[in-house]
Chains A and B, each alone.
Chain A
Amino acid sequence: MKRPSLPRAVWVLLGKELALEWRTRARLNALLFFSFATLLLFSFALGPDTRQLQRGAGGYLWLGILFSSVLALGESFRVEGENAALDGLRLAPVDARALFLAKALGNAALLSLLSAVLVAPMCALYDVSLALGLGPLAGVLVMGCLAISAPGTVYAAISSNARARDVLLPLLLFPLLVPALLAAVKSTQLVIGGDPMNQLGSWLGLLGGFNLIYWGLGFLLFPRVIEDG
């Protein structure tokens, strides 16, 4: 049997990921409501002073996304454990790196969708308006979600097979994501509050660099993670 090329394999596997998400929409819905609840909780914990909420809106949005991402990432490998689906994929004549790219892209797409849906509640709950408009915000959200999902996918693959995986994934992932979180929150704040000093570019540059490094590292290291020990 001919081995499919890497892009072709990624395409097929990504289709599988998305189909899986679509057919289990209940999970996506639960995730949406979870992140919405997180945003609500931030208002209860810090409100009702609207100005304080406005100042921190970008941070609360990204913390909401981050908390949901841990659940989404963990879930994306838990389903592979059912019926030993991951073993089946490993047996297929597909490059393991394609598996990483498809999984990470699927997670990034899911998180991007989630964050896009969260924008409206954020604007409403924290009373913010977008000074720079939706276009730059979309860019920031997609880049931030890409930054979460590349190392997140590697770590989710690891922790899904360990004991205490629900504690392990955030413990491994959160410190790693500090630079990405900083850059994403700063960029979002700039999109919300305006960017008089032209800082958005450099923060997006940091986010881009983070993405480049961790998509590269994940691509190199992921095959070692899922090969059978």
Chain B
Amino acid sequence: MRKVLGVGLPVVGVGMLAVGAWLGLKWAQPEQYMGDVQRIMYVHVPAVWMALLAMVLNFVSSVRRLMDRKPLLFVGGALGLLAVVAGVGYQLAVVSPANARVERREIPPRDGTPAFGTLNPRLTLVAWTGMPCGGCAGLTGTLQHLEEIYRGKLRVEYRVLPGAQPAAAGALLAAHAQGKFAALHEAMAAETGPLDAPALERVASAAGLNVPAWQAALSQRPFAQGLEADAAQAAGLGISSAPALFLNGRPLAGPAQIATLRVAADDELALQDRGAVVKYLVGMGLVAALLSALGAFIRTDAQADALAEASAEVGVLFGAVGVLLGAIWAKPTWGVWWDWDPRLTSAAILLVAYSGYLALRKFVDDTERRAVWSAVVAIISFVDVPIIYYSVRWWRSLHQVQSTPKDVAPDMVVALRWNSFAFLVFLVLFTWRRYELSRAQLESEQLAPPDVPAAAEVKA
């Protein structure tokens, strides 16, 4: 088995890396904004992930070194149970009642509808408009302002209501084909007289439309299907007059003003955050239980110590590769070798912290003391990881926030996943080899104690 793995793992790993290189360099499309530079991500991100994974392994073995298997299972299980119970309790006591108070309507998405904002929104605002419309003047501007406030969280979609003037509804959708939905909408809303054909044409040219193309669209009606779909949705929801706004399916009463919209959006975000707290608690509980179970697999203290040493060293290696690649990526992207991006910064701080851990291991000769002390340092450092990340993010958010790509294309995800698994093979291989080395070193130390006594022993 060991021999098979010893040959198999490197072969599989190199093969996977080769395929991963092809996926990342040839197969995946260059990134929309950053182009080929983005391809560094296919190795940078897996390297950092593997470093984090190694740190988790280091943490688990360090806790195991300080605790025996049974108490470890007990404490981990109890903590996990506590978190899960707290999460479920919070859901039942706070989150579910709060959600139950909110009335939501199902609004299916419609392709080709006028829309703007992020593609993966936490908030989706659907606005029905049409003519005549009391209080529609300035609506598009208000919604654009709202999107600026909730940038990256909000998506706004328009639907049109045929209402008393079906011609106006068609005219709006025909204008959308030219990207002039908002312009025509505002021009129409400002018009006081009836919107008959000459008035529509006057308004359209005032809004800066390409009028002949627009009129051709009006006679061919390529938007007829969309118009019907909007009308059917409106009928299903019982909407009779514009404007009618729905935020994540919640009907919004009252005039569409920025202040009232913000209240509704903040309330919706708060509801989602509370739901996220539940997920976080339950997730953390499961992770605690899982990690303690993992730790209980480590049979002896010596194994735990060797595994801790191996994973820390491999983690520092992957982390150093990751931070270096991150800096190389930052140069063409942001124009500087280093940017105080929270992820990059935390990774660099971690690297220093774990180098300190490895130095400590080198500077203590007594095996028992070395194991216990380094386990204490490992636990203290690991707990610091999330604190460092959030404090750096906080610190950064008071300056300008660097945009990081969030909407990742599907072929990027494939290449990223593949490379992560290739790196995982090497993480396992390196950790395993380093672990065997640590075991051998430990054994040789115990067989032949160092003839030079440690400084502390001399003093004592």
Instruction: Spell out B's residues near A (CB within 8 Å).
Output: 66, 349-350, 352-353, 355-357, 359-360, 363-366, 368-369, 372-373, 375-377, 379-381, 383-384, 387-388, 391-392, 394-395, 398, 454-456, 459-460
Q: Which residues of A contact B394 (CB under 8 A)?
A: 182, 202, 206
Cα of A125 to Cα of B395 in the assembled complex, Å: 26
Cα of A87 to Cα of B391 in the assembled complex, Å: 39
Between-chain CB contacts (< 8 Å), 9 pairs: A81-B459, A171-B359, A174-B352, A175-B349, A175-B350, A183-B391, A221-B379, A224-B66, A229-B368
Q: Which residues of A contact B383 (CB under 8 A)?
A: 213, 217
Is the pair B392, A182 in contact by a Cβ cutoff of 8 Å? yes
Of A12-20, A39-47, A115-123, A158-166, the stretch lying at the interface with chain B is A158-166
Q: Which residues of A contact B455 (CB under 8 A)?
A: 163
Is the pair B363, A163 in contact by a Cβ cutoff of 8 Å? yes
A161-B364, A164-B363, A186-B395 known; A175 vs B376 contact (CB < 8 Å):
no
Q: Which residues of A contact B359 (CB under 8 A)?
A: 164, 167-168, 171
Instruction: Spell out A's residues near B (CB within 8 Å).
Output: 81, 84, 87, 151, 154-155, 158-159, 161-165, 167-168, 171-172, 174-176, 178-179, 182-183, 186, 199, 202, 206, 209-210, 213-214, 217, 221, 224-225, 227, 229
Cα of A214 to Cα of B384 in the assembled complex, Å: 9
Closest 9 CB pairs of A and B: A229-B368, A179-B391, A229-B369, A175-B353, A171-B356, A162-B363, A172-B356, A163-B363, A175-B352
Q: Which residues of B contact A213 (CB under 8 A)?
A: 383, 387
Q: Which residues of A contact B364 (CB under 8 A)?
A: 161-163
Q: Tell me if A's interface is mostly helix, strand, loop or mixed.
A: helix
Q: Tell me if B's interface is mostly helix, strand, loop or mixed.
A: helix
Q: Which residues of A contact B381 (CB under 8 A)?
A: 175-176
Q: Which residues of A contact B360 (CB under 8 A)?
A: 158-159, 162, 168, 172
Q: In the complex, which of the residues A162, A171, A210, A229 has the most CB atoms of chain B within 10 Å of its own CB atom?
A: A162
Q: In the complex, which of the residues A161, A174, A209 has the most CB atoms of chain B within 10 Å of its own CB atom?
A: A161
Is the pair A217, B380 in contact by a Cβ cutoff of 8 Å? yes
Return the contact of A178 from the options B355, B372, B391 (Cβ within 8 A). Answer: B391
Is the pair A171, B373 in contact by a Cβ cutoff of 8 Å? no
Cα of A186 to Cα of B394 in the assembled complex, Å: 11
Is the pair B376, A178 in contact by a Cβ cutoff of 8 Å? no
A81-B459, A168-B360, A225-B372 known; A154 vs B380 contact (CB < 8 Å):
yes
Cα of A34 to Cα of B330 in the assembled complex, Å: 39
Cα of A145 to Cα of B459 in the assembled complex, Å: 31
Closest to A164 in B: B363
Min CB distance B322 to A, Å, is 16
Is the pair A217, B363 in contact by a Cβ cutoff of 8 Å? no
Cα of A159 to Cα of B391 in the assembled complex, Å: 27
Return the contact of B384 from the options A165, A168, A179, A224 (Cβ within 8 A). Answer: A179
Cα of A221 to Cα of B352 in the assembled complex, Å: 22
Q: Which residues of A contact B456 (CB under 8 A)?
A: 161
Cα of A106 to Cα of B10 in the assembled complex, Å: 54
Return the contact of B377 from the options A155, A164, A206 (Cβ within 8 A). Answer: A155
Closest to B66 in A: A224
Min CB distance A53 to B, Å, is 21
Is the pair A221, B380 in contact by a Cβ cutoff of 8 Å? yes
Cα of A219 to Cα of B395 in the assembled complex, Å: 29
Return the contact of B366 from the options A165, A221, A227, A229 (Cβ within 8 A). Answer: A229
Closest to A158 in B: B373
Q: Which residues of A contact B349 (CB under 8 A)?
A: 175, 178
Cα of A75 to Cα of B61 in the assembled complex, Å: 32
Closest to B389 in A: A179
Cα of A175 to Cα of B359 in the assembled complex, Å: 14
Cα of A81 to Cα of B460 in the assembled complex, Å: 9
Is the pair B363, A225 in contact by a Cβ cutoff of 8 Å? no
Closest to A157 in B: B373
Cα of A97 to Cα of B206 in the assembled complex, Å: 79
Is the pair A179, B387 in contact by a Cβ cutoff of 8 Å? yes
Closest to A210 in B: B387
Closest to B354 in A: A175
Cα of A229 to Cα of B395 in the assembled complex, Å: 41
Closest to B456 in A: A161
Cα of A201 to Cα of B427 in the assembled complex, Å: 42
Is the pair A182, B380 in contact by a Cβ cutoff of 8 Å? no
Is the pair A176, B384 in contact by a Cβ cutoff of 8 Å? yes
Cα of A210 to Cα of B36 in the assembled complex, Å: 41
Cα of A167 to Cα of B369 in the assembled complex, Å: 19
A84-B460, A217-B380, A224-B66 known; A182 vs B395 contact (CB < 8 Å):
yes
Q: Which residues of A contact B375 (CB under 8 A)?
A: 224
Cα of A13 to Cα of B421 in the assembled complex, Å: 54
Closest to B375 in A: A224
Closest to B460 in A: A84
Min CB distance B9 to A, Å, is 32
Return the contact of B376 from the options A171, A199, A206, A221 (Cβ within 8 A). Answer: A221
Cα of A182 to Cα of B373 in the assembled complex, Å: 27
Q: Which residues of A contact B391 (CB under 8 A)?
A: 178-179, 182-183, 206
Is the pair B353, A176 in contact by a Cβ cutoff of 8 Å? yes
Cα of A199 to Cα of B366 in the assembled complex, Å: 47
Min CB distance B272 to A, Å, is 21
Q: Which residues of B contact A202 (CB under 8 A)?
A: 394
Cα of A151 to Cα of B353 in the assembled complex, Å: 13
Q: Which residues of B contact A225 (CB under 8 A)?
A: 372-373, 376
Is the pair A224, B387 in contact by a Cβ cutoff of 8 Å? no
Cα of A172 to Cα of B454 in the assembled complex, Å: 21
Min CB distance B231 to A, Å, is 48
